[in-house]
Amino acid sequence: MINAWHRFIDNVPLRRFVVLAFLIGLLYLMRAMLSTILLTFIFTYIVVKWIRLLQHWIPKLPTLLIVLVTYAVLIAAVYFAVTKYLPLLINEIIKMVNSVLKFYQSQDGSWLLKQINHYISQSTITTQLKHGINLAFSTLTSVTQMAITFLMSFILSFFYVIELKQMYSFSKLFLTSDMFSWLFEDIYFFGNKFVNTFGVVLEAQFFIALCNTALTTICLLFMHMPQILALALMVFILSLVPVAGVIISLIPLSMVGYSVGGIRDVIYIIIMVIAIHALESYVLNPKFMSSRTELPIFYTFVVLLVSEKLFGTWGLIVGVPIFTFLLDIMGVKSIGSKKAVKKQSE
């Protein structure tokens, strides 16, 4: 029994396969917390990269000072957005609702209601109304859960980064364990590879967000929209969410457009968002992802389609990293193997 245990530990490929299966099973059991885990990882990764970048420019800059200033700026930005732009958004919603009510109270609106009642039965209207109320309630619940997840991830990332050196020092102690050092070495092996692949995808999504923001801002300038800088900032933040972010931005942009130019500008904005969404889905996502991950565009596009079907919106974020991670683990293609591939092709 002891000999079999030692043979298992010495068999690195089999051992790592078992550890990987264990990690996948553990994540499956913790699937209710996956959003918190991924958001915490994203916040932590971005802030750590930011710290390394600043310390590369200014080597003597203290890590604690960078962390405190960075999170203070983020909190101030969120507070500014909630206190200044959220009331404006609520006012736009109220204006839109009042405009719709005035339309239905007008002669044209009364005629439209009569035509609707002529073709739709009362039971159908009641069913749709109940469905709409349930949808609104579930949406409100989802938004609340998302806000709590965002807040918890933000706090966890702060506590991780604020003690960055202590976290590294303490985490290394697991590698010196007498009985399970091999387990933590394998976890570190997989974690290091996944961080590298995930970082590549984050960089690609950042460039995609810049392209989306630039195109949207140009269109909004031609439409003479107010608060261009604020709208551009909102579009950039939402564009960091792959594919879905562009669609989410349609709601506030449509409200602002309706207040400025009425239904005509809303139609223009819908056409603009559809065009940019198509550009991101069929051009930017495959192109940027393939260039950053050194994968062919066809493979990247297929991975995005399959992962979106399997995991929803999160699949668009973790699909390519997982695929690249698996290729690296199986020895098909190592991370950063561009030179090796070039030599083989020659």
- How many domains does the chain contain in total? 2
In a domain, 136, yes or no: no
Query: What does the pLDDT profile of the chain (346 residues) look like in tens digits?
Result: 677 877 888 888 888 889 989 988 888 888 788 888 888 888 888 888 888 888 888 888 888 888 999 999 988 888 877 787 667 666 765 665 565 556 555 555 455 555 555 555 554 545 554 554 554 455 456 667 777 888 898 899 999 998 888 888 898 888 888 888 888 999 998 888 888 777 777 777 778 888 888 888 888 888 887 767 667 777 887 777 655 566 677 777 777 777 677 778 888 888 888 888 777 767 776 777 666 666 676 777 788 788 877 777 677 777 777 888 888 787 777 655 444 334 333 3
Q: How many of the other CB atoms lie within 10 Å of CB of 61?
A: 13
pTM for this prediction: 0.68
197 and 313 fall within a common domain:
yes
Please report where in the chains the tokens 């976290």 appear, as a residue: 167
User: Distances in Å between the alpha carbon of 44 and those of 37, 149, 168, 181, 283?
Assistant: 11, 15, 13, 25, 29
In a domain, 261, yes or no: yes
Q: How many of the other CB atoms lie within 10 Å of CB of 1?
A: 5
**Of 67, 90, 106, which one is at a domain's C-terminal end?**
106
195 and 331 fall within a common domain:
yes
1-4 own/partner pairs: CB under 8 Å, 24+ apart: none
In a domain, 81, yes or no: yes
- Check residue 175 and give its pLDDT: 87
Range(s) of the domain holding residue 61? 48-106
In a domain, 206, yes or no: yes
